Structure 1
């Protein structure tokens, strides 16, 4: 991934230790990427996402107030914190999916 710009320094590089996976999207390609993913959106409150790029490269954009972009390449992941507006776009054709995580039940 690219060197961290100021907005990205506020985003943890890893998921919290107390979350567990509870779902995932299907694989997306440039042809099947939903329009909603191409414009600003957030995860549900308390839900973390994890982008997993299988092939190609994806541009992951944070929207204001964080505002910044970075490339995520095949074999890399990128966490999506709860309630942070973001969007994605393919830079190079490929495939990716998003896993969703929530706090583990006590």
Structure 2
């Protein structure tokens, strides 16, 4: 079982909910988060592929109700496989004991 890093992090931002027609092109191409910033790719409906750039490329199908953990500074992209809605939540380390 994968450890859930979000229990030790604080959410500080999130994107709008995107669909297959509103997803920004940059999410469909190689990109990453800043060092120290974690992402949580949350699929609300449908499904999409979360792809770690590698090498080798590693794709994981994420379905409605599930999420992918985006580690800091890790190259990745999403690949649409049909109608879907999703958003990305951003987290950072808890500083000074505050959440």
TM-score clears 0.5 = yes
TM-score, reference length from structure 2? 0.89
Flag structure 2 segments of 5+ consecutive residues without an equivalent: none
Contact 1:13 1:78 in 2 (8 A): no
1:78 matched residue in structure 2:
68
Alpha-carbon shift at residue 92 of structure 1 (Å): 2.2
Contact 1:13 1:79 in 2 (8 A): no
Structure with bigger strand share is 2
TM-score, reference length from structure 1? 0.83
Q: How many residues align?
A: 95
Q: Does 2:3 match 1:17?
A: no
Flag structure 1 segments of 5+ consecutive residues without an equivalent: 1-11
1:42 matched residue in structure 2:
32
The alignment's C-alpha RMSD in Å is 1.4
